[in-house]
Amino acid sequence: MRNRLSPLAAGLVTLALPFAGAAEETTVRAADALEYLGERVTVCGRVVDASYFPHLSGEPTYLNLESPYPNPTFSVVIWGQYRSAFRQSPDRFYQDKEICITGVVQQFRTWPQIVVKSQDMIRVMDPGLDADRFTPEERAVIRGVLVALGHAAEDPGEWTPAMDQALAAYQGDRGLPDDPEAWPQTLRALAEDASGLTGEQSVGILRLLLLHLAQRETELSGR
């Protein structure tokens, strides 16, 4: 019997829909992918084991989901000829991340796999902003700039998955990698683009920052 995602899990993977193509794709857990052999689906899970083998035939990269080799629950295969389609080394970039992959499920030995030929077949589901990397006030400024630049329809009041998508879209438009190690490039680009904002837009960003500071002080003081 096929097991679909729970309502909560399904909600978490709805971000995969924009890259799933015009037709609606079935979204399943890595553990259930074997039931969809020969079908085009979106498979979601955490990369627990990622390796690149340049000395093997085909120079494969393997991203193993949920359980490591030699008994992976599900594998993503990227042949060497397609590694150049990725902005970062996929074995390093996707390690320990929650991802969704859209493609045709095949079987290798006893486990299912999807052969990936381009980066847009994989979507990272982890939050785009690390809470330990930026303070709430700093995230407020980044969010405000994205809204002012038109990369988000409106300010949702907090950092949401939709804002992660807006950030990824901005990075894509600017030709920037969505790798946390490249954050200095993204921040410099945001600063450069923010210099062209109107006075009203700039005031809106400052207001957002002040509101966050006020909220933080209220929580600290209990008032």
For each of the chain's 223 residues, which pLDDT tens digit applies? 555 544 444 443 444 444 444 345 789 999 999 999 999 999 999 999 999 999 999 999 999 999 999 999 999 999 999 999 987 789 988 888 889 999 999 999 999 999 999 988 998 875 455 545 667 777 778 888 888 888 765 555 566 666 777 777 788 788 877 666 667 788 888 888 888 888 777 777 776 666 666 666 666 665 5
pLDDT at 70: 94
pLDDT at 114: 98
Answer yes or no: is 12 within a domain. yes
Looking at residue 86, which CATH number applies to its domain? 2.40.50.140
Evaluate whether 4 touches 81 at the Cβ level (below 8 Å): no
pLDDT at 15: 40
Domain boundary among 68, 92, 124: 124
Maximum alpha-carbon separation in the chain: 65
Domain boundary among 90, 124, 158: 124
Answer yes or no: is 61 within a domain. yes
pLDDT at 144: 81
Q: Are residues 115 and 152 in the same domain?
A: no
Q: Are residues 146 and 117 in the same domain?
A: no
Is pTM beyond 0.85? Reply is no
Q: Are residues 189 and 90 in the same domain?
A: no
Q: Are residues 57 and 144 in the same domain?
A: no
Secondary structure element (H or E) that encloses residue 22, with its range: none
Q: Give the number of domains in the chain.
A: 2
Please give the sequence-ordered ranges of beta strands (E in DSSP) within the chain, or none if there are none.
26-29, 40-52, 61-65, 74-78, 98-104, 106-108, 111-115, 122-124
Instruction: Find the domain containing 179 and state its range.
Output: 136-221
Token pair recorded at residue 160: 């949401």
Q: Are residues 13 and 115 in the same domain?
A: yes
Answer yes or no: is 42 within a domain. yes
CA distance 118 to 95: 17
Answer yes or no: is 131 within a domain. no
Q: Are residues 100 and 154 in the same domain?
A: no
Evaluate whether 124 touches 90 at the Cβ level (below 8 Å): no
Evaluate whether 158 touches 137 at the Cβ level (below 8 Å): no
Answer yes or no: is 129 within a domain. no
